[in-house]
Amino acid sequence: MGRKLLFDKAHIEGIRYYDVYRANGGYGSAEKALKSMTPEQVLDEVKKSGLRGRGGAGFPTGMKWSFIAKPEGVPRYLVCNADESEPGTFKDRYLMEFIPHLLIEGLLISSYTLGCNSCYIYIRGEYAWIPDILEQAIAEAKKNGWLGKNIQGTGFDLEIYVQRGAGAYICGEETALIESLEGKRGNPRIKPPFPAVKGLWDCPTVVNNVETLATVVPILRIGGDEYAKYGTGKSTGTKLISACGNINKPGVYEIEMNISVEEFIYSDEYCGGIANGKRLKACIPGGSSVPILPANLLLKTAKGEQRMMTYESLADGGFATGTMLGSGGFIVLDEDQCIVKNTLTFARFYHHESCGQCSPCREGTGWMKRVLHNIEHGKGKMSDIDLLWDIQRKIEGNTICPLGDAAAWPVAAAIRHFRDEFEWHVLHPDEATKRNYGLAHYADPLEIAAPAAV
């Protein structure tokens, strides 16, 4: 069994409620931080832990916190990004639904460190029942003196509010989230200025993912140095991975970042192998926007080394032969799946979610969707594949926010690794509407492939 830091007590009956959470050592880290440490000392522990943002970008959290501007007399805000909307990602939902106090404790410690007295949890609108859970937990914490005025007699005040979004993927981007929190359309802001200087209501603001903020709790419990001993190299600690697609055991897993991709997919502790005795065709290991990898490049890097579940190993080989850990939305495709169709659903997703503010994304995402739709439905031309490549290239890097990149990468990677499947769709339009291309050569180098269905 891998070591757990966030889910170590997740199995305890009633951990959702304050009494059980407290009885099992909950709020111990907050007590330690507020009563015996200065904010600088807490920041130091977070820096030492090597914690990296769990929302997708992987930016060092301690460094992000140290950027926050501290002008006199201006309030600072901590915003918890719970707008989990990346296809394949559903880890924060699990955390908030089942261990809400872990998040609240994390918010308390983080607010103390940053000197914030108001904190907002921005949760995606579709998670309509979770605000109730969080608000109940907040009320419990308040009743027990962990929120409100003069927390535990330390003189520190904090209020946590839950704000529901209303259905917009783009609000996961931090400046769009801030705009939405201000009651506006979720149009990302043009940076600079960065939120650390001018964020919510033009005040210095830190926006962090749910998992990142929850992870602060175990870091304080065991110490930053000890936390850094978990994992591999710069990928310290544990990471929540939400596994889905054609696997036997979809769900949210906490992994220590020292296991291999192969172990994660095939071991019974995690995904439990490919469903229905099929073989692995491809995988998108970090949420829909990261590049898709065929099985042969997924399990081993281009250098022939075993690929690990770490930020560095998954990115090994750059975009040519690698991918990214992203937000940990692990999507597995078996041999029966059609890459073109899968890419089309993602293109449709990004088209639907584009805010429409800047031209490459507004116009380009719809164009890609339509071209892909033609290819998928047997109306594609050979030149369409090159056209798609050119469109994605002209979107990537030219937009205000990273949604442009996120829309471009899945299309680029699908063409890069599965061009033959696209060509087959164009050349055999009738056949392509009736059956899928299948495994082809993608899984061939697999040594431990699960046996094919009899």
Q: Which stretch binds another protein (CB under 8 A): 204-212, 362-370, 414-422, 439-447?
A: 362-370
Phi/psi of residue 199, nearest 5 degrees: -120, -120
Query: Is 79 or 206 the residue whose CB approaches another protein more closely?
Result: 79
**Which one of 66, 144, 258, 398 is in contact with another protein (CB under 8 A)?**
398
Q: Does 74 bind another protein (CB under 8 A)?
A: no
Q: Does 252 bind another protein (CB under 8 A)?
A: yes
Q: Does 90 bind another protein (CB under 8 A)?
A: yes
Burial of 341: CB neighbours in 10 Å, binned 0-12, 13-18, 19+? middle
Query: Is 89 or 313 the residue whose CB approaches another protein more closely?
Result: 89
Which residues face 264 on adjacent strands? Answer: none
Binding positions for another protein, 282-321, rule CB under 8 A: 284, 288
Give least dist CB 226 to another protein, A: 31
Query: Is 378 or 445 the residue whose CB approaches another protein more closely?
Result: 378
**Which one of 250, 285, 286, 294 is in contact with another protein (CB under 8 A)?**
250
**Which one of 66, 232, 345, 436 is in contact with another protein (CB under 8 A)?**
345
Q: Which residue has the tokens 């169709």?
A: 341
CB atoms within 10 A of CB 181: 22
Burial of 72: CB neighbours in 10 Å, binned 0-12, 13-18, 19+? exposed
Q: Does 255 bind another protein (CB under 8 A)?
A: no
Stretch 146-175: interaction string toward another protein, x if CB under 8 A: -------------x-x-xxxxxxx------
Q: Which stretch binds another protein (CB under 8 A): 206-214, 307-315, 349-357, 436-444?
A: 349-357
Q: Does 243 bind another protein (CB under 8 A)?
A: yes
Query: Is 81 or 357 the residue whose CB approaches another protein more closely?
Result: 357
User: What is the distance between the alpha carbons of residues 340 and 226, in angstroms, rounded to a whole number?
Assistant: 45
In the three-class reduction of DSSP (H, G, I as helix; E, B as strand; rest coil), residue 161 is classed as strand
Torsion, Cα of 159, 160, 162, 168 (10° steps): 110
Question: Where does residue 117 fall: left (phi above 0), alpha (psi -120 to 50 degrees), or beta otherwise?
Answer: alpha
Give least dist CB 165 to another protein, A: 7
Structure tokens at 314: 């998954």
**Which one of 43, 400, 432, 439 is in contact with another protein (CB under 8 A)?**
400
Q: Does 87 bind another protein (CB under 8 A)?
A: yes
Q: What is the DSSP string of 321-377?
A: H----TT-EEEEEETT--HHHHHHHHHHHHHHH--S-SHHHHHHHHHHHHHHHHHHT
In the three-class reduction of DSSP (H, G, I as helix; E, B as strand; rest coil), residue 229 is classed as coil
The answer to whether 438 and 262 are in contact (CB under 8 A) is no
Q: Does 142 bind another protein (CB under 8 A)?
A: no
Helix (H) or strand (E) holding 175: helix 174-181
**Which one of 11, 40, 129, 304 is in contact with another protein (CB under 8 A)?**
129
Binding positions for another protein, 5-64, rule CB under 8 A: none
| First and final C-alpha spacing in the chain | 32
Binding positions for another protein, 179-238, rule CB under 8 A: 180-186, 190, 201
**Which one of 4, 48, 142, 370 is in contact with another protein (CB under 8 A)?**
370
Query: Is 51 or 332 the residue whose CB approaches another protein more closely?
Result: 332
Give least dist CB 164 to another protein, A: 6
